[in-house]
Chain A
C-alpha cells in the first residue's frame, strides 16, 4: 500500500516543520494558556461579581464567544484587532502620551490617530486565542470558585480581609489547585485548536506541513505524519494529566 509513497519528504523537511512550525504552535499555545487563564480568571470574578453591569457584560461576552465557531472568532479578531488596538492606544495616549510612545517604540508598532494599526501575524493570533480560550478557562475557574464553601469567604471577611485579599489568599489558590487537571485538559484542546490559524495562511505546524506538502505534491505522507505527531503529543499530554490528577486528588 505504501509502495509508491515517498517518506523521504519528512526527512527533507522535518527541520522546517519543527523549528518553524512547531515552535510557533508551542509558543502560541503556552502564551495563550497563560494569558487565557489570567483573563479567564478575571472574567470569572466579573461573572460572579455583585456589581450587576460587570457580571452582565462578562457573562454576555463569554456566552457570545462560546456560541460561535473558533474559525469565525479568528476572522473577527484578525480584522478587529487593528481597529481596537488603534482605539485603545488613542485612549491611553490621551492619558500618558510619553509612556505610550515609548511602549509603541519598544513593540515596533506604528500608530497614527484614527488609522488602524498594523499587527503582526503572531500578535494577532495571540490576542485571538487569549480572548477565545479565556471564555473556556472562565467557565472552568467559575466552577472552581463556586465549589469553595461560602463560609470560608465570610471567615476571611470576618478576619478583616478585603475582597482582593480574600480572593487572592483563600479562594483562588484552592480553586486553581482543584481545577488544575481541567485547566490542563483545556490546554491540550487549545494546542489542537491552534492548528486552525491555518485559515489565515500562517506557518504553524499544520501550515508548514501543508506548504511542504503542496510544494512537493506529497499530501498523503505529510498529513499522515502531522496526524501522528499530534496524536503522540496529545495522547502523551493527556495521559500525563490523568496521572497528575490521580496524584493530586484530595481524598474526601
Chain B
C-alpha cells in the first residue's frame, strides 16, 4: 500500500515551536495524567460520600444519593463536558461566569471538574456495592458496642469496604485516564489531541497514533501493577483473594 512510513518523524521539530513531536506527545501525557489524577481525588472523595449516603438508614439521603448517581450516569460524558464548559458560565451570575471563562486554563479546570463528578457517580456505585457485600451483623455489632453510626462507618465498615473494592476502583482509575481524552473536544491538549495534531501537521497518521497507543498501554501496565502491589499490601486476611491462608498457596 502506498503509505510512506517515517518512524524518525518523532525527532522532527513540532511546527508550534516547542521542541520535537516526541516532546509534544509527552507533554500531552503530562496533561492526561494530571487531569486524571486531580479528577480522581474529587471522584474518590465525592464517590465515597455519595456511596455511603446510599447505604444509610436515612431515607432522604438514599434518595439524594440515587438521584446524584442517575444524573451523572445517564448523560454522555461529551455532553457533560459541554455543559460544564459552555453552559455553566452562562447560568452563573455574570461576574462569576466571566471569571470562569477567563481562567488561564479553563479547559483543564473544566475537564478536571467534569471527570471528577462523572467518575464519582461510578465510584459511588462501587462503594455502595462494597458496603453491601459486608455482613449486616458488623454494623449491628458496631452500634451494639456503643459506637455511633458515623463511628461504625469510620472504624468498621469503610476501612473494609475500600479494601474489598480496590480491583473495581483500579478499573475506574484506568477509565478516568481514558475518559480524559474526551476533553480534547473542549480544547485540552492531552495525549490523544497531541497525536491528532501531529497527524494534521506531519501527515504521518499511523506513527502518531501508534505512539499514543503505546503510551496509553504503558501507563495502563504501570497502573495495574502498582495497584496489584497495593492490593496485596492492604488485603483483608481470611477472605478469598485476600492475604493470609488463602493467598499463601501461590
Contact = CB atoms under 8 A, between A and B. Distances in A.
Interface in B192-216: 192, 195-196, 199, 205-206, 209, 212-213, 216
B86 interface: yes
A72 interface: yes
Nearest to A192: B76
Interface residues of B, number: 39
Interface stretch (B50-58, B158-166, B175-183, B231-239): B175-183
A156 B157 CA distance: 46
A227 B196 contact: no
A87 B216 contact: no
Nearest to A224: B87
Contact of A198 (B78, B192, B216, B217): B78
Given A83-B1, A193-B76, A220-B90, A67 B217 contact: yes
A192 B75 CA distance: 7
B79 A196 contact: no
Given A67-B216, A69-B178, A227-B79, A79 B206 contact: yes
B63 interface: no
A72 B212 contact: yes
B179 A75 contact: no
Contacts of A226: 79, 82
B1 A234 contact: no
A157 interface: no
B176 to A, nearest CB: 11
Contact of A206 (B76, B181, B205, B220): B76
B184 interface: yes
B62 to A, nearest CB: 16
B192 A195 contact: no
19 contacts: A1-B91, A68-B216, A68-B217, A69-B216, A71-B184, A72-B195, A75-B192, A76-B209, A80-B206, A114-B1, A192-B75, A198-B78, A198-B185, A206-B79, A223-B83, A223-B86, A224-B83, A227-B80, A231-B71
* The 9 A-B residue pairs with the shortest CB-CB distance in the complex, in nearest-first order: A69-B181, A234-B74, A192-B76, A69-B178, A195-B76, A71-B181, A67-B220, A219-B86, A79-B205
Interface of B: 1-3, 70-71, 73-80, 82-83, 86-87, 90-91, 174, 178-182, 184-185, 192, 195-196, 199, 205-206, 209, 212-213, 216-217, 220
